[in-house]
Amino acid sequence: MFRLRTRHTAIALSLLALLTAACSASSATSTSATGSTGSCMPGDNPVVTLAGYSNVYDAYGKLTASSGTFVGDWKNAHNGQSVIFQASYGGSTTQAQNVVNGFPADIVALSLDPDVQLIQVAGLITHDWQSGRDHGYVGTSVVVFEVRPGNPKHIENWDDLAQPGLQILTPDPAQSGGARWNIVAAYGAAMRGEVPGYQANDPADAQRLLEGIFSNVSVMDKSANDSLKNFQAGNGDVAITYEYAALAAQKSGDENEMVIPASTVAIQTPVAVVDKNAESHCVKDIADAFVEYLHSDEAKGIFDTVGFERPVDLEAAQAGQGVESTFAPITDLFTTDDIGGWDELTDTTVFGPDGAFTKAQAAAQG
Amino acid sequence: MSTQGELRPARLSAPTRKRLVHGGLIAVALVYVGTLVLAPLVGITWAATRAGWHTWSATFADPTARHAYVLTGVITLVTVVVTAILGVVVALVLSRDLFPGRGLLSAVADLPIAISPVIVGLMAVLLFGTGGWFESWFSARGIRILFAVPSIAIVTLFICIPFVIREVTPILQELGTEEEQAAKTLGATSLQTFFRVTLPNIRWGLLYGIALSTARAIGEVGAVVVVSGLIAGQTETATLFILRAFDQFHDETGYVVALTLAMVSIVLLAGIEIFKHREEKELSR
Amino acid sequence: MQEQVGTLVREDPRPAKPAAGSRARQVARAAMGRWSLRSVALLYLGLMVALPTAAVVIRGFGGGLAALKEALDAPGAHQALMLSVGLAALTAVINAVLGTVVAYVLVRYRFVGRGVLSTLVDIPFAVPTLVTGVMLVALYGPNSLVGGFFIDHGFQIIFARPGILLALLFVTLPLVVRTVQPVLHQLDLAEEEAARVLGASRWVTFRKVVLPHLRSAVVAGGLLSFARAIGEYGAVVILSGNLLNKTLTAPVFIYQLISDFKPDAAAAVATLLFGLSFTLVLVTERLTRGRPA
């Protein structure tokens, strides 16, 4: 039987607790230095925080690695200053809202323009991020279908998704940028007349297609990754996803098949510096330099080989000529600008109060 | 007992039936608990060992993994110390101090057990997020609560509050105040009485409660996933690391860390068993 | 206890302090001590527990009952709540029955492996909930031995309801067993033996003699299991699959709402869920504290 040296132990433990609390609190506030507007002191190990959408961790992991080119070059050019990158990944829209609500990201790598605009509208991005190189895009991917081996349900095009009784996996549009890309792809393909059975330039027909598709959706996954995992685990007949997610899954042994519809949208993913945060963390110059680096040939190569993304140049993307790899060519590759631009799609034609998707979702759930 | 064989139409002899029934019940219990608890433990050990040595060493070399363990450790330590000390205070008040509203206080102390951890995360968001009750006070002083370590500590604290209280209060109630009163009449101060009389009496119950809190704090995920911001290397606890590993299709790394946590909790379990055993012996004295 | 008290006793058996006038001071000091303890306790629980809970409830009920109802009409809310209630009820019933069997076996029988069984029952108290989910994925997932067998035969466990049920049964197992066990311990075997001597069968004896004593403990354990199962997140999230009506439980749904930046809807569903489980926990307290010492 042991006797607790109770008084001494209690005092020691309390001191230890106070000490630990103080240390962790101070480390938390020092690495996320907020509020202090004063002259920026260049530290030895500045920390840059990146908020990314769910799929790109492998590519950014390599791009931001402490053994990577950017960190190495910066160190050589800046007296041994060792940049540390910290990253958080999640559904694109969730991440954007988090940043608006105070998440201290210095750089955002999101899955579609409107999510970056959310942050700009909130006043955190003060420069015109779309006027930079490649309009701020760092890669292109496309919306594809992931089906069971042998494609038992014969899913080739968007109209096949509307067949009754099919179980479709696609993420929740309120959280995931990927969900909105999927919807826009279906809408665009129908509007361009590339979907058999649906008239071109006919919003009513586009709505009909969306309604048919979404009657077959009964999941609320929070990100494109979740949909894919769900599908891999055996749920559903088809998952609408990004090409690079499907390719990454195939690379890690997934036996499911990927089908590219004849007409699909070019998923152009933007990256931008969050000026307000980067300035208050005194890392604006590093953040700007890193975003510049993302447009370099070497970065593009990494996006290709590690991220399975097609090149930013749309002609090359459509032909399937990657920076390093080859992709399947696409019959009709269109951008959101080709079907009206994000503003119109979000506010009016697709996601607006009378938009094709809004009405289709209501009808499908009603 | 022997009359039974004669009363009933003899199919099986009574002792055999008895053995069958006993055996049957034991078998049911063993199969149920074995399938429910033992099989998954075997499963994860298998999956984690199948990951191979290189996955293990890669995971332990990974700075974000190490940071995740450290963060979990720090949060657990702070949580356990605070809830233990203040939990004893509350237990003293609940068992000794008769005041109106004591029942309400007891109910409040039990609240966290009934609340889903995701709801605890929501509480933190409502208090410290944009438009939250305390948000302006903290942001004016440049203190970040959400998407930073303080929020992780706060939610874990909330969740671990009841354990020590629930274990120590009944002990104090059973013991009564005789010994403390005896000490007082002999001239001891309150503090002396507490440390020399009360604390040794509640020792095992306190340790049991602490062990339960520790296990709970280590395993917290539902609230932390809401508030932490999931910044790898900064606000990612061990459990969040596992979530991310599975999310990013790095299942093997996930299994490795999960098995590590499972092993830690088995050790804790040993402590729990010992302390519980001692506590029961004390209570039945 | 003699040793501890003994160290305070001095040579002189008379009380250390002089009598009379300082008695009032002693009483005053005791009262102050009591009051300061009480304030610490009230401040601690008030700030750390009551306040945050109020924040959710106020937000949930903030717009009145009409707003609450509207928030609950969010797509998926009904299904998620019904699913959680259904699965939690099933969990509670299964564990009430089988947990009682386990408790009975642990108390009444001696057999090889009894200690192991007892330890296994406590494991869910120690293991992190997320690790529980991971273990189930490791055992029944598509890449595992066992899982592959089941999927080949068309029976899906992970990302489907059986998996969630297994997870809930795991985390609630000790709740029934450890509630029933102490009561069984205290039962007087004489009653049972008398019944047997008088010719009652084993089952009748159990039903009429043992069960009435156990009833409140079994019910309490079942209610506690229900309350715990309805709010479980960590063990469920990793094998949920988010299929509405099939595997999207209320806590996972609330998490979706929070990620969707719908704090009002989240607070509404949360208030309902929390109200339900808190009531159950209170009832359980009543039932277990009522038993004889």
Look at A244 and A220; give whichever has higher pLDDT: A244
Structure tokens, B124: 């933190």
Average pLDDT over chain B reads 88
pLDDT-derived band at C98 (thresholds 50, 70, 90) equals very high
Mean pLDDT, residues B34-53: 90
Q: What is the pLDDT of residue C242?
A: 65
**What gap in Å lies between CA B90 and CA B93, rounded to an integer?**
5
Q: Which of B78, B89, B147, B227 to mutate to test the interface with A (most CBs of A within 10 A)?
A: B147
Q: What is the pLDDT of residue C20?
A: 52
Separation in Å, CA of A93 to nearest CA in chain B: 14
Q: What is the pLDDT of residue A227?
A: 81
Q: Considering only CB atoms, which chain C residues are within 8 Å of B269?
A: 119, 122-123, 125-126
Q: Which of C158, C253, C261 sits opposite A97 (nearest CB)?
A: C261
Residue C218 CA to its chain's centroid (Å): 13
What burial letters (b/e) apply to B19-36, b meaning 16+ CB within 10 Å? eeeeeebbeebbebbeeb
Mean pLDDT, residues C13-38: 70
| A358 at interface of C, judged by CB pairs closer than 8 A | no
**What gap in Å lies between CA B198 and CA B194, rounded to an integer?**
5
pLDDT-derived band at B219 (thresholds 50, 70, 90) equals very high
Q: What is the pLDDT of residue A162?
A: 93
> Is the pLDDT confidence value at C29 over 80?
no
Structure tokens, B10: 């003899």
Q: What is the pLDDT of residue B3?
A: 46
Pick from A45-54, A117-126, B102-111, C12-21: least confident: C12-21
Look at C8 and B173; give whichever has higher pLDDT: B173
Q: How many CB atoms lie within 10 A of CB B263?
A: 12
pLDDT tens sequence across A65-82:
888 999 999 999 998 899
Strands A137-147 and A238-242, by their bridges, are antiparallel
Q: Considering only CB atoms, which chain C residues are within 8 Å of A235?
A: 156, 159-160, 241, 243
**What gap in Å lies between CA B145 and CA B127, rounded to an integer?**
10
Report field, pTM of the whole predicted structure over 0.80: yes
> A247, A322 in Cβ contact below 8 A?
no
Q: What is the pLDDT of residue A154?
A: 93
> C232, C147 in Cβ contact below 8 A?
no
Q: Which of A6, A57, A98 sits opposite B147 (nearest CB)?
A: A98
> Is the pLDDT confidence value at A38 over 70?
no
Q: What is the pLDDT of residue A328?
A: 92
Structure tokens, A104: 């201290």
**What gap in Å lies between CA C72 and CA C267, rounded to an integer?**
10
Q: What is the pLDDT of residue C94?
A: 95
Residues 6+ apart with CB under 8 A from B136: none
Which own/partner pairs from C10-14 qualify as long-range (CB within 8 Å, at least 24 positions apart)? C10/B187
pLDDT tens sequence across B121-136:
999 999 998 788 888 8
Q: Considering only CB atoms, which chain A residues are within 8 Å of C253?
A: 220
| A218 at interface of C, judged by CB pairs closer than 8 A | yes
Pick from A70-84, A222-236, B102-116: least confident: A222-236
Separation in Å, CA of C214 to nearest CA in chain B: 17
Mean pLDDT, residues A346-361: 89
Look at C1 and A163; give whichever has higher pLDDT: A163
Q: Within the 78-107 window of chain A, which residues sit less than 8 Å (CB to CB) from chain C? A: 90-91, 94, 97
**What gap in Å lies between CA A256 and CA A144, rounded to an integer?**
13
Average pLDDT over chain C reads 82
What number of residues does chain C have?
A: 293
Separation in Å, CA of C17 to nearest CA in chain B: 7
Chains with 3 or more CB pairs closer than 8 angstroms to A?
B, C
Amino acid identity, position B13: S
With H, G, I as helix, E, B as strand and everything else as coil, classify residue B214: helix
Q: Looking at this predicted complex, what is its ipTM?
A: 0.86
Strand partners, C252: none
| B277 at interface of C, judged by CB pairs closer than 8 A | no
Strand partners, A86: A49
> Is the pLDDT confidence value at C31 over 90?
no
Q: What is the pLDDT of residue C212?
A: 84
pLDDT-derived band at C244 (thresholds 50, 70, 90) equals low
Pick from A226-230, A314-318, C2-6: least confident: C2-6
Q: What is the pLDDT of residue C9?
A: 42
Q: How many CB atoms lie within 10 A of CB A263?
A: 23
| C73 at interface of A, judged by CB pairs closer than 8 A | no
Mean pLDDT, residues B150-165: 95
> B190, C33 in Cβ contact below 8 A?
yes
Q: What is the pLDDT of residue A72?
A: 93
> Is the pLDDT confidence value at C217 over 70?
yes
Structure tokens, B194: 């507490």
Q: What is the pLDDT of residue C229?
A: 94
Q: What is the pLDDT of residue B113?
A: 87
Strands A137-147 and A168-169, by their bridges, are unpaired
Q: Considering only CB atoms, which chain C residues are within 8 Å of B221?
A: 128-130, 233-234, 237
